């Protein structure tokens, strides 16, 4: 913080005298790159904008209001509210955050408009930041509301596996789950079209048949086996116990008495209609597995008894959230026992359980379903580099590439390493195929081993990520840069104007690539984003389409140096990642937190969640960026532990 | 006009060695048939291709009968008399209209709905009911399946599909309600099993009946469970449980139909597909076969089929195009890229031709299955480079049971809503609605 303040002071003292170009450089150093992330609170101490002599409302009308007022506001962004004292600023958080970002990054005002000088820019920024923080996190925040969400395919498969002991994978034949907010477990997006309901019913019937035909599965589902028992009262008792046992697991909560009675009556009616015991059992299993309580993560909305419309989830609901977050599956016996004893509902208990669960093999689901979607490893299946240009590429490389990134994530998760190692680990996990690909000697045939990396760091230089950010015939610095901004820094660049083709560079050879870069630079509207995207991408040019190291592209030598907005220069990928891991670590952790919280909750985040996200980011930073701190922050957040009333 | 074939209870689907029953005839006596009271039903199908087309190689120059067929449409030459090629149809709601980028997601979700999709990455997805589902709601109860949703690629399983639009918009063209896409089946084996499993006569009647009875009682039970839940749910949650309940009702309806005597003995002698073929062409063709089988057995009268999802970027190396389709579609008038796009477009049209061949090979009543069908083929984008939504590349194949004078290239004013075509098609299915999407009226000119 001190550094920033000093730099700002320096900037102020220089600003008055230097000419435009020099001022730009200093400004860049202050706002363009370094200052991002220093926005934890008011940066400029007591010295408010008034002290600068510039009145922010005057600055707004000079530099912003030409375009950003009223109904016809450019891009739909209206800034009128900033001057008003009678507005609820919590409705404008996103716009304010955006205004700060674009001001800081000199994206606004557009280059062809009058530019504020750096003093004015500081004044405006400070003022908007103060406005933004004025309403902030002290007030009661809603924990948000998750729309009733159904099991997705992975959850269905895992739940059936853990419920019956039969790994049937029937959901592989279900229609694909649509993705929203980057994940396939978002309640609002997970619809039940008729075809899926049909598959649910057929799957339930099939599972029921398989369970009663398999002695072990049958005992797991219905452990109370009345062998040799003839007494009707006792038989009924066994049946009720079985219904209770299976009901608890299938619904992930105890059945109510009324529910138990309904299932019992259902069983009795089947029995009296002449069904064999096995058929009665089938009917019960099929009915449970077709029930909404099995298919949905059932959390009923707070009723009138909750006057503020916010309800603390009960222990069974928490157990359910926890296990689907970390295991993509139902809770295990320990979780059920804790929930039954009412011992799960504290942040400490949830954290303790979460850490236990991460050590369990089932946490592989978090790797495959969270990391697989966050880092888009699942896209690998659709990637096929041109076989003539890249004859080296084959399925074994694709598989190894995915595995490498999954193993690094898993390593950090299980060993509670710093999440920053995802960015800058100087080690990785390779099998022989991948070792050859990376030019690492001495890896034997058997499976994956940990190795030190001479010229790579972190996931960004994994073959997996390099592959999914390339075109079939050539690398794409733009795609790579955009991927970093989207997925690692959480600063997705705004989409290009409509008449510019998005990421279209299929005929891009090095020559034409340079020409395109020059076009970007020539057009200030392109430059604001492409300066950053392209610099990041060019820093990775030493890696070809399939992630192999190269010193030349055709006959051109690779130039992997670059300059990030703000003037930070780097020579090659390792320096680039060092800058990111150092100066952008807050953005990275924030981005990871946002993604993981989205995944954990099964809903998109809203402005109401930003205080929680900030608190988690701080918490992670205070704990050496450990993975466990991230998990702890999430499972003990109000968002995770509570539910607000919906519409 | 047509040679009237002798209709037996079985007919042979040429080239596939398939024998199957024609259930729509079964309930009629020869006397009624002779009186002409029972016409074969009219069917509708919709095929979506992504990324627009090479418009220079698509639109005929000559209007009316005897129109020319440019390179992309050329594979359909033998079907010229079965086609209407349109110029001028527009999906205004595919345009940004203030929503910014995301033309591909919009192009798919507007394609059959004519509605502006709500721009959201997840919360409160909304577009409109698609034309096939409007028809399905009206006539779907007449067949075992109200409609059939087919595709080649599953939805994208990670990441962002298109500029802030949830992937649901990119991977579905059929929408049961404003908020529920129908989903689609991409595995031909599963389509086949869904259509025909349980219908094999070899099956022991009694055990089948028992299973149906068990299933029925389970459905009754859980339906009641869901109803008990409903009052305790918030608005959004209730929507989910409504989807659940309408799914159950659809299954029950089918089970009732399946036990009705006149539809019980559908027999299909078609090899069960192995699964998803590696070869794209083979995959599309199997899906076409499934659509034809479904029509032929009157299992449904409505299908949709996405040859690829919106914005698809797969390469077409098997026809010598190694670039991604979407990347190419931003061609910037580069003749080399345009040529490649035309090749991809033509490849898709060739697969469409395969479907038409199959439909035409099935004799039915006094004509062919194609004569009794209306198959729309097209894209929600005109030119992939311009991302524009006027003058969409669209053709309509089939004569709609003799209600369409095909064999022509018809030109309309540029802003003629594509939904007007849908309204006219619905009318031919005996489905009468005041409007669909942004329709302004029926489309003139389908007959001369």
Give the closest of A204, A300, A506 to B327, CB-based. A506
pLDDT in tens, A530-550: 878 888 999 999 999 999 999
- Helix/strand/coil (H/E/C) assignment for every residue in B155-172: CCCCCCCECCECHHHHHC
Count of CB atoms situated within 10 Å of the CB of B256: 13
Closest residue on chain B to A153 (Cα): B157
Has residue A513 been placed in a domain?
A: yes
Contact B240 A150 (CB under 8 A): yes
Has residue A144 been placed in a domain?
A: no
Contact B324 A178 (CB under 8 A): no
Our CA-based measurement puts residue B427 at a distance from the nearest CA of chain A, in whole angstroms, of 25
Of residues B363, B381, B383, the one with CA closest to residue B372: B363
Contact A283 B214 (CB under 8 A): yes
Contact A173 B187 (CB under 8 A): yes
User: Of A268, A297, A326, at which residue does a domain stop?
Assistant: A297
Has residue A416 been placed in a domain?
A: yes
Answer yes or no: do A634 and A534 share one domain. Answer: no
pLDDT in tens, B414-444: 899 999 999 999 999 999 999 999 999 999 9
| Overall average pLDDT of the A617-642 stretch | 97
Answer yes or no: do A69 and A101 share one domain. Answer: yes
| Overall average pLDDT of the A397-422 stretch | 98
CATH class of B10-194+278-428: alpha beta
Query: Predicted confidence band at A96 (pLDDT cuts at 50, 70, 90)?
Result: confident
Q: Is A21 or A220 the better-scoring residue by pLDDT?
A: A220
| Overall average pLDDT of the A222-228 stretch | 88
pLDDT in tens, B391-407: 999 999 999 999 999 99
User: Of A134, A161, A185, at which residue does a domain stop?
Assistant: A134
Of residues A320, A152, A334, the one with CA closest to residue A251: A320
Answer yes or no: do A51 and A83 share one domain. Answer: yes
CB proximity B96 to A under 8 Å: yes
Q: How far apart are the first and last CA of chain A?
A: 43
Give the closest of B214, B315, B387 to A282, CB-based. B214
| Overall average pLDDT of the A212-218 stretch | 95
Rounded distance, CA A642 to CA A142, Å?
9
Answer yes or no: do A578 and A594 share one domain. Answer: no
User: In this structure, what DSSP letter does residue A114 have?
Assistant: P
Residues of A in contact with B98 (CB under 8 A): 76
Has residue A291 been placed in a domain?
A: yes
Our CA-based measurement puts residue B249 at a distance from the nearest CA of chain A, in whole angstroms, of 9
- How many angstroms separate the Cα of A142 from the Cα of each of A315, A613, B390? 20, 13, 45
CB B129 within 8 A of CB B175: yes
Answer yes or no: do A579 and A431 share one domain. Answer: yes
CB proximity B315 to A under 8 Å: yes
Contact A175 B237 (CB under 8 A): no
| Overall average pLDDT of the A405-429 stretch | 98
Answer yes or no: do A433 and A566 share one domain. Answer: yes
Low-confidence stretches of chain B (pLDDT < 70) are 1-37, 197-206, 258-267
User: In this structure, what DSSP letter does residue B116 have?
Assistant: P
| Total count of residues recorded for chain B | 448
Count of CB atoms situated within 10 Å of the CB of A157: 20
Q: Is A25 or B314 the better-scoring residue by pLDDT?
A: B314
Domain that holds residue A616: 585-644
List the 335-364 stretch of B: residues with Cβ below 8 A of A: 336-337
Residues of B in contact with A205 (CB under 8 A): 211, 214-215, 218
Query: Predicted confidence band at A498 (pLDDT cuts at 50, 70, 90)?
Result: low
Q: Is B140 or A41 the better-scoring residue by pLDDT?
A: B140
Rounded distance, CA B333 to CA B54, Å?
10
- Positive or negative torsion for Cα B371, B374, B377, B381: positive
pLDDT in tens, A62-88: 888 888 888 778 877 888 888 777 777
Residues of B in contact with A471 (CB under 8 A): 323-324, 327
Of residues B399, B207, B209, B192, the one with CA closest to residue B299: B192
- How many angstroms separate the Cα of A345 from the Cα of each of A149, A322, A613? 22, 11, 21
Has residue A306 been placed in a domain?
A: no
Answer yes or no: do A455 and A592 share one domain. Answer: no
Give the closest of A178, A292, A388 to B168, CB-based. A178
Rounded distance, CA A95 to CA B158, Å?
27
Check pLDDT > 60 for residue A37: no
pLDDT at A284: 97
Answer yes or no: do A494 and A539 share one domain. Answer: yes
Q: How many helices (H) and strands (E) in chain A? A: 30, 10
Answer yes or no: do A579 and A589 share one domain. Answer: no
- Positive or negative torsion for Cα B292, B297, B301, B303: negative
Rounded distance, CA A284 to CA A265, Å?
11
Give the closest of B159, B166, B315 to A376, CB-based. B159
Answer yes or no: do A574 and A592 share one domain. Answer: no
List the 375-404 stretch of B: residues with Cβ below 8 A of A: 385, 387
Average pLDDT for chain A: 85
Task: Provide the domain count of chain A.
Answer: 4
CB A11 within 8 A of CB A118: yes
Between chain A and chain B, the number of residue pairs with CB atoms below 8 A apart is: 241
Has residue A309 been placed in a domain?
A: no
Check pLDDT > 90 for residue A298: yes
Residues 6+ apart with CB under 8 A from A204: A285, A286, A287, A289, A290, B218
User: Of A71, A100, A134, at which residue does a domain stop?
Assistant: A134
pLDDT in tens, A381-394: 988 899 999 999 99
CB A207 within 8 A of CB A288: no
Closest residue on chain A to B181 (Cα): A193
Answer yes or no: do A380 and A521 share one domain. Answer: yes
Answer yes or no: do A101 and A222 share one domain. Answer: no
| Overall average pLDDT of the A335-349 stretch | 97
The full DSSP string for A200-235 is: HHHHHHHHHHHHHH-HHHHHHH-----TT---HHHH
Contact A291 B222 (CB under 8 A): yes
Count of CB atoms situated within 10 Å of the CB of A217: 18
User: In this structure, what DSSP letter does residue A181 have?
Assistant: T
Residues 6+ apart with CB under 8 A from A523: none
Q: Supply the Cα-derived Rg of chain B in whole angstroms.
A: 22
Has residue A55 been placed in a domain?
A: yes
Has residue A607 been placed in a domain?
A: yes
- How many angstroms separate the Cα of B124 from the Cα of each of A323, A603, B237? 26, 11, 12
CB proximity B185 to A under 8 Å: yes
* ipTM value for the complex: 0.87
What is the dihedral angle through the alpha carbons of B288, A189, A384, A173, rounded to the nearest 10 degrees?
Answer: -50
Give the closest of A201, A382, A388 to B219, CB-based. A201
Label residue B34 exposed, middle or buried (CB < 10 Å: 0-12, 13-18, 19+).
exposed
CB proximity B320 to A under 8 Å: no
Query: Predicted confidence band at A23 (pLDDT cuts at 50, 70, 90)?
Result: very low
């Amino acid at each position: 913080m001190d550094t920033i303040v000093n730099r700002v002071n320096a900037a102020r003292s220089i600003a008055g005298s230097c000419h435009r170009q020099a001022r730009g450089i200093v400004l860049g150093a202050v706002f363009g790159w370094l200052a991002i992330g220093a926005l934890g609170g008011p940066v400029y101490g007591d010295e408010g904008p008034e002290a600068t002599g510039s009145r922010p409302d005057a600055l707004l009308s000079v530099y912003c209001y030409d375009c950003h007022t009223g109904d016809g506001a450019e891009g739909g962004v209206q800034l009128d509210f900033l001057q008003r004292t009678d507005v609820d600023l919590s409705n404008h958080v996103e716009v304010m955050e955006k205004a700060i970002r674009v001001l800081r990054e000199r994206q606004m005002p557009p280059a062809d408009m009058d530019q504020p000088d750096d003093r004015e820019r500081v004044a405006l920024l400070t003022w908007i930041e103060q406005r933004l923080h004025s309403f902030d996190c002290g007030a009661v925040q809603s924990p948000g509301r998750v729309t009733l969400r159904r099991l997705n395919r992975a959850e269905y498969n895992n739940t059936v596996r853990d419920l019956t002991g039969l790994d049937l994978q029937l959901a592989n034949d279900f229609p694909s789950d649509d993705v929203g907010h980057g994940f396939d477990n978002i309640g609002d997006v997970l619809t039940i079209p008729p075809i899926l309901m049909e598959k649910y019913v057929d799957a339930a019937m099939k599972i029921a048949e398989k369970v009663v035909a398999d002695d072990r599965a049958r005992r797991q589902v219905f452990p109370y086996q009345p062998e040799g028992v003839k007494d009707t009262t006792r038989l009924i008792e066994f049946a009720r116990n079985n219904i209770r046992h299976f009901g608890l697991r299938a619904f992930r909560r105890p059945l109510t008495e009324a529910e138990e009675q309904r299932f019992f009556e259902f069983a009795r009616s089947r029995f009296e209609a002449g069904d064999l015991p096995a058929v009665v059992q089938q009917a019960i299993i099929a009915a449970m597995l077709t029930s909404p309580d099995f298919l949905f993560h059932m959390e009923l909305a707070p009723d009138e008894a909750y006057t503020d419309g916010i309800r603390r989830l009960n222990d069974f609901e928490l157990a359910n959230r926890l296990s689907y977050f970390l295991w993509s599956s139902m809770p295990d016996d320990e979780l059920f026992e804790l929930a039954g004893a009412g011992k799960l509902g504290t942040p400490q208990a949830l954290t303790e359980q979460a850490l236990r669960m991460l050590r369990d093999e089932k946490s592989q689901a978090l790797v495959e379903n969270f990391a697989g979607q966050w880092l888009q490893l699942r896209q690998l299946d659709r990637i096929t580099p041109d076989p003539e240009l890249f004859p080296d590429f084959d399925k074994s490389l694709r598989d190894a590439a995915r595995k490498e990134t999954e193993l690094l994530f898993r390593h950090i998760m299980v060993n509670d390493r710093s999440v920053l190692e995802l960015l800058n680990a100087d080690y990785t996990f390779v099998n022989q195929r991948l070792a050859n690909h990376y030019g690492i000697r001495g890896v034997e045939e058997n499976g994956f081993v940990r190795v030190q990396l001479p010229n790579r760091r972190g996931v960004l230089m994994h073959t997996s990520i390099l592959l999914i950010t390339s075109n079939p015939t050539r690398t794409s610095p733009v795609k790579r840069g955009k991927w970093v901004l989207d997925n690692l820094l959480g600063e997705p660049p705004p989409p290009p104007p409509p008449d510019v083709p998005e990421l279209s560079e299929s005929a891009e050879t090095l020559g034409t690539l340079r020409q395109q870069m020059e076009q970007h630079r020539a057009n200030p509207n392109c430059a604001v984003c492409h300066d950053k995207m392209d610099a990041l991408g060019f820093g990775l040019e030493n890696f070809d389409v399939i992630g192999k190291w190269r010193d030349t592209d055709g006959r051109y030598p690779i130039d992997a140096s670059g300059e990030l907005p703000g003037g930070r220069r780097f020579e090659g990928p390792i320096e680039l990642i060092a800058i990111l891991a150092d100066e952008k670590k807050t953005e990275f952790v924030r981005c990871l937190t946002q993604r993981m919280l989205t995944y954990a909750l099964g809903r998109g985040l809203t402005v109401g969640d930003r205080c929680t996200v900030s608190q988690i980011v701080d918490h992670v930073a205070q704990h050496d960026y450990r993975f466990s701190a991230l998990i702890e922050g999430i499972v003990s957040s109000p968002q995770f532990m509570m539910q607000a009333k919906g519409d | 006009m047509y040679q009237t074939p002798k209709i037996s209870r079985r007919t042979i689907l040429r080239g596939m060695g398939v024998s199957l029953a024609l259930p729509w005839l079964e309930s009629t006596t020869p006397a009624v048939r002779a009186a002409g009271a029972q016409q074969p039903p009219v069917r509708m199908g919709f095929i979506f291709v992504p990324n627009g087309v090479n418009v220079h190689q698509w639109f005929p120059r000559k209007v009316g009968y005897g129109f020319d067929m440019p390179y992309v449409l050329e594979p359909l030459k033998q079907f010229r008399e079965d086609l209407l090629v349109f110029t001028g149809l527009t999906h205004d709601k595919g345009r940004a209209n203030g929503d910014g980028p995301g033309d591909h997601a919009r192009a798919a979700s507007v394609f059959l709905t004519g509605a502006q999709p709500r721009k959201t990455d997840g919360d409160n997805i909304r577009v409109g009911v698609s034309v096939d589902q409007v028809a399905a709601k009206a006539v779907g109860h007449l067949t075992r399946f109200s409609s059939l949703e087919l595709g080649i690629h599953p939805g994208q399983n990670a990441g962002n599909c298109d500029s802030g639009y949830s992937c649901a918009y990119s991977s579905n063209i059929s929408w049961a309600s404003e908020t529920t896409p129908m989903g689609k089946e991409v595995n031909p084996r599963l389509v086949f099993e869904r259509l025909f499993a349980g219908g094999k006569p070899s099956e022991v009647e009694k055990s089948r009946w028992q299973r149906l009875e068990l299933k029925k009682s389970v459905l009754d039970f859980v339906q009641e469970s869901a109803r008990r839940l409903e009052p305790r749910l918030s608005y959004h949650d209730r929507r989910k449980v409504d989807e659940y309940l309408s799914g159950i009702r659809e299954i029950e309806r089918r089970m009732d139909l399946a036990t009705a005597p006149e539809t019980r003995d559908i027999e299909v002698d078609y090899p069960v597909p192995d699964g998803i073929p590696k070869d794209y062409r083979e995959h599309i063709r199997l899906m076409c076969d499934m659509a034809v089988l479904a029509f032929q057995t009157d299992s449904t009268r409505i299908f949709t089929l996405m040859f690829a999802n919106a914005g698809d970027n797969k390469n077409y190396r098997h026809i010598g195009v190694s670039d991604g389709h979407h990347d190419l579609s931003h061609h910037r008038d580069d003749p080399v890229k345009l040529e490649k796009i035309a090749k991809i477009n033509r490849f898709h049209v060739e697969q469409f031709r395969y479907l038409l061949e199959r439909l035409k090979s099935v004799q039915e009543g006094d004509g062919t299955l194609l004569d009794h069908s209306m198959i729309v083929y097209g894209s929600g984008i005109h030119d992939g480079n311009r991302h524009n939504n006027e003058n969409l590349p669209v053709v309509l194949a089939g004569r709609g049971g003799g209600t369409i004078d095909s064999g022509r290239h018809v030109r309309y004013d540029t802003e003629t809503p594509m939904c007007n075509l849908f309204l006219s098609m619905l009318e031919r299915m005996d489905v009468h609605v005041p409007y669909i999407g942004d329709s302004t009226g029926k489309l003139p000119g389908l007959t001369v």
